[in-house]
Amino acid sequence: MLLYIIFGLGTTAVNMIAYEVTYNRIGICNLISTIIAWVFAVVFAFITNKLFVFDSKSLAWEKVKYELVTFLTCRLITGIFDVIIMFVAVDMMDWNSLVWKFVSNVLVTVLNYIASKLVIFKK
């Protein structure tokens, strides 16, 4: 759990930085910035979750394929949740984008942990 929190903070940082750069610095629209940030965060999270958090060292193709497919499926579902939150909060309600990106990340991180523990990297 401690490693998930540490690497979850890292994943959140990757997500927040990618979003900040694309949305507030470059000026890409909110939804596209959210998706770009999601991609960066998912790549970081898969590698760190597989190797460090859930200690899944197997490189056997069938095992890696199962983990990757289930990981991407679960992350896609929570990624859609993230996009909906950001769309409603930022585009519809005109609330602070970084505050809501953080709130969304916290909610998504909890859901991702449950999926990772119970489905993806189960022993």
Tokens of 121: 């990297």
Helix axes 30-48, 61-86, angle to 10 degrees: 150
More confident call, 91 vs 63: 91
pLDDT at 112: 86
The whole model's pTM is what? Answer: 0.85
- Mean pLDDT for 18-27 is 97
The CA dihedral of 14, 73, 29, 13, to the nearest 10 degrees, is: -10
- pLDDT tens digits, one per residue of 91-106: 999 999 999 999 999 9
The whole-angstrom separation of Cα 63 and Cα 121 is 10
- The total number of structural domains in the chain stands at 1
In which domain, by residue range, is 22 found? 2-120
- 28: DSSP letter: -
pLDDT at 50: 85
